[in-house]
Amino acid sequence: MTVPLFDYVLRLADNALVLGHRLSEWCGHGPVLEEDLALANMALDLIGQSRSLYDYAGEVGGRGHDEDALAYLRDVASYRNVLLVEQPNGDFACTMARQFFYSAFMHPYWQAMAASSDPALAAIAEKSVKEVAYHVRHTSEWAIRLGDGTEESHRRMQAAVDELWPYTGELFEADAIEAALIEAGIATDPRPLEGAWRATVANVLKTATLTLPATGWMQTGGRVGRHSEHLGHLLADLQYMQRAYPGAAW
């Protein structure tokens, strides 16, 4: 038997953990010291969000899973994150585009969730919205500077936007798991947020002298466990210690 609230919170938690882990891969490899820290700061914001969400998921799941069990002991097909967040870091422009697309979506999403009838989710949303507001600011400023920068930075930023664009459609999907929760005022309905997201993205890309891709065919499947090949490699890295030494504590 599945508990819809468990599945729903897990999706949010997996998004935050997987993207946070991706950003943590930059640690020590950032283009400059200042940006290395900025990337690590965003990673820590996201990993912090995932911890609160896993904690709550474990609580509502009713099977006694704690945050570690949920993060470290589930395999690829059990992960429920959108495909966008598991995409590889690529170059710096790619990482910024991925972060910008996600953050520009999560900012209004958390804003809406702050009014959730579920007090635990409302509290997580209230904390997260401030963190994500900065992620939007930081990544959009970079998108503008790279897009409206040199010939090479413009080319790379446009390539990153084009490459990741087909992964943005999944952000706005809502299925049967969410329907009842949206109805009950617990979950945020992502569908009405698409207009605001497109406006934010279009505005930044225009300032960045970049071209907004045409809305075409979109990738889907991450939220029901159908992932790209990249997630397995990411989890191998993330889960190695607990798999090799079960129950190892710090």
Partner 1 sequence: MTEAKWPLFEVFIRSRTGLAHRHVGSVHAVDAEMALQNARDVYTRRGEGLSIWVVPASSITASDPADKEMLFEPTASKIYRHPTFYEVPDEVGHM
State the nearest-atom distance from the C-beta of 43 to partner 1, in Å. 12
Q: Distance between CA 220 and CA 169 in Å, rounded?
A: 8
Pick between residue 11 and residue 138 the one whose CB is nearest to partner 1. Answer: 138
The one segment of 56-64, 131-139, 163-171, 226-234 that binds partner 1 by CB under 8 A: 131-139
- Our finding on whether 11 is near partner 1 (CB under 8 A) is no
Q: Name all contacts of 197-206 with Cβ < 8 Å and 24+ positions apart.
A: 197/104, 197/105, 197/108, 197/171, 197/172, 200/104, 200/136, 200/140, 201/100, 201/101, 201/104, 204/100, 204/104, 204/140, 204/143, 204/144, 205/143, 205/147, 205/161
Among 62, 75, 130, 145, binds partner 1 (CB under 8 A): 145
CB of 248 within 8 A of CB of 241?
Answer: yes
Pick between residue 41 and residue 89 the one whose CB is nearest to partner 1. Answer: 41
- Our finding on whether 130 is near partner 1 (CB under 8 A) is no
The one segment of 26-34, 73-81, 87-95, 230-238 that binds partner 1 by CB under 8 A: 26-34
SS3 per-residue string spanning 12-68: HHHHHHHHHHHHHCCCCCCCCHHHHHHHHHHHHHHHHHHHHHHHHHHHHHCCCCCHH
- Our finding on whether 135 is near partner 1 (CB under 8 A) is no
Among 1, 32, 214, 244, binds partner 1 (CB under 8 A): 32
Among 31, 88, 192, 221, binds partner 1 (CB under 8 A): 31
Among 25, 35, 91, 173, binds partner 1 (CB under 8 A): 35
State the nearest-atom distance from the C-beta of 35 to partner 1, in Å. 8
Q: Which of 109, 116, 114, 115 is nearest to 132 (CA)?
A: 109
The structure tokens listed for 29 are: 């490899």
State the nearest-atom distance from the C-beta of 25 to partner 1, in Å. 18
- Our finding on whether 204 is near partner 1 (CB under 8 A) is no
The one segment of 34-42, 90-98, 157-165, 216-224 that binds partner 1 by CB under 8 A: 34-42
The structure tokens listed for 80 are: 């429920």
CB of 237 within 8 A of CB of 96?
Answer: no
List of residues 6+ apart from 224 with CB closer than 8 A: 80, 175
- Our finding on whether 175 is near partner 1 (CB under 8 A) is no
Pick between residue 39 and residue 85 the one whose CB is nearest to partner 1. Answer: 39
Provide the binding-site residues for partner 1, judged by CB under 8 A: 31-35, 37-38, 41, 134, 137-138, 141, 145
